């Protein structure tokens, strides 16, 4: 996505919305404070994210409104309408869609005899691949073990040992 943002820097805006940790672990625990989100987002910046970044509220008010999945991507057209939505970020797909959205805009501006049509598609992606192609378990060994257990169907990952039921800061969570 970073390369795409560079290639289309003059034609489109790019925005990264930092949301909850998808695979929290001992290195990046589940968020309990907004400041934790800022710290984690800064860590993402240091790992090479150059796009403009905004940080969602602690409980994800924008994330939920847009569907709440972990690595989704959207393209909003120049008039503020949704032009593309996908539950996973796939760079070549977004590149092609962005090109088409720009071409569509230009065709409409040209005033030709064209009509809209609606379409949807289901895509397929490698199950274990991150959108940025990076290391999968930056959260740490806890995240990796939980993921493997869930894959094996032995345990729901709706409960993390890193946060105690009923609140309260668990041990090992840095308090900003």
Q: Which of residues 14-53 bind other proteins (CB under 8 A)?
A: 14-25, 28, 30-32, 38, 40-45, 47, 51-53
DSSP at 119: -
Residues 6+ apart with CB under 8 A from 70: 19, 22
Least Å distance, CB 170 to other proteins, is: 11
Residues 6+ apart with CB under 8 A from 105: 77, 78
Q: Which of residues 104-143 bind other proteins (CB under 8 A)?
A: 105, 116, 118, 120, 131, 137-139, 143
CA atoms lying within 13 Å on the CB side of residue 31: 20
Q: Is 147 in the site for other proteins (CB under 8 A)?
A: yes
For other proteins, the binding residue among 5, 35, 170, 173 (CB under 8 A) is 5
Q: Is 159 in the site for other proteins (CB under 8 A)?
A: yes
For other proteins, the binding residue among 35, 84, 170, 173 (CB under 8 A) is 84
């Amino acid at each position: 996505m970073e390369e795409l943002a560079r290639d289309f820097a003059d034609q489109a805006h790019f925005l990264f919305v930092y949301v909850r940790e998808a695979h929290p672990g001992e290195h990046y625990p589940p968020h309990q404070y907004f400041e934790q989100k800022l710290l984690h987002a800064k860590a993402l910046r240091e790992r090479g994210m150059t796009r403009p970044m905004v940080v969602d509220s602690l409980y994800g008010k924008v994330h939920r409104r847009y569907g709440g999945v972990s690595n989704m991507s959207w393209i909003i057209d120049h008039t503020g309408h949704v032009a593309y939505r996908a539950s996973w970020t796939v760079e070549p797909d977004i590149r092609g869609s962005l090109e088409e959205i720009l071409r569509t805009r230009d065709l409409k501006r040209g005033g030709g005899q064209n009509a809209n049509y609606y379409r949807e598609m289901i895509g397929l992606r490698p199950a274990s691949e991150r959108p940025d192609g990076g290391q999968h378990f930056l959260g740490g060994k806890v995240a990796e073990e939980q993921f493997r257990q869930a894959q094996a169907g032995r345990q729901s990952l709706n409960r993390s040992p890193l946060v105690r039921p009923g609140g309260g800061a668990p041990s090992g969570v840095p308090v900003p």
